[in-house]
Amino acid sequence: MVDQRRPWVVGVSGASGTPYAAAVIRALFDAGEAVDLVVSRAARLTILDETGAPFRDAHWKDDLATWLGRSINDVVYWPAGDLAAGPSSGSYQAKGMLVVPASTAACAGIAIGLSKDLLQRAAEVNLKERRPVVVVPRETPVTRSHLEHLIALHDAGAVVLPASPGFYSAGAAATAAQLVDFIAGKVLDAAGVSHTLFTRWSGDLGHSR
């Protein structure tokens, strides 16, 4: 009997921080995980602004490979406007969902069950099915309404994982890539996926350096 494909759904919203999403997707591929990708309309603009590369429905394979800087593995792309897509249904088999980065609008929409696009709908589905959902807000500072939405997400079962990198792996000399990988690694930790994206704290001061 052939095992049924069970991907991680990765939702990329329009918040700044698309390098976090790219690092998470690359690490999932490296771990041998399948990925279902949803890129919001706003995220396309952010990817273009932060990388100079477009992300187009008709050319998503080439655009994804360019964005990631590598060949792509087991991935299915679902347009954000496709509310009939597989991840919109609880019967669609998925391991869970990672929303990275998560804009304030995406957090609010998921928290209140708005389902304005496939990203929000898929996150709501994974929450109701009690699957792991990791939400990575990057906005700072935050308003009271944003905090309330994050609390609602926490209470619904999501892991709220702000994009706040630690410095104990490389210290003040940490590169941007190391800080990005730290957050991507924490996302994979929360999802229970093995990785080697950062040096773990060992209890010895300065050991990782």
Kindly report, residue by residue over 23-60, the tens digit of the pLDDT. Answer: 999 999 999 999 999 999 999 999 999 999 999 999 99
Sheet holding 8-12, edge to edge: 75-77, 35-39, 8-12, 96-102, 133-137, 159-160
Percent of the chain past pLDDT 90, that is, above it, reads 90
Checking if the pLDDT of 134 tops 90, the result is yes
Kindly state the average pLDDT of the residues 142-169: 95
Given this model, what pLDDT does residue 207 score? Answer: 61
Checking if the pLDDT of 196 tops 70, the result is yes
Given this model, what pLDDT does residue 172 score? Answer: 87
When the pLDDT of each residue in the chain is averaged and rounded to a whole number, the result is: 95
pTM: 0.95
Q: How confident is the model at residue 202 (pLDDT cuts 50, 70, 90)?
A: confident
Given this model, what pLDDT does residue 1 score? Answer: 47
Q: Are 55 and 48 spatial neighbours (Cβ–Cβ below 8 Å)?
A: yes
Given this model, what pLDDT does residue 199 score? Answer: 87
**pLDDT tens per residue, range 1-24:** 457 999 999 999 999 999 999 999
Given this model, what pLDDT does residue 146 score? Answer: 97
Q: Are 161 and 171 spatial neighbours (Cβ–Cβ below 8 Å)?
A: no
Q: How far apart are CA 59 and CA 188, in angstroms?
A: 28
Q: Are 202 and 208 spatial neighbours (Cβ–Cβ below 8 Å)?
A: yes
Q: How far apart are CA 152 and CA 161, in angstroms?
A: 14
Q: How far apart are CA 15 and CA 165, in angstroms?
A: 17
Task: Tell the burial category of 156 from Cβ atoms under 10 Å away from its Cβ (0-12, 13-18, 19+).
Answer: middle
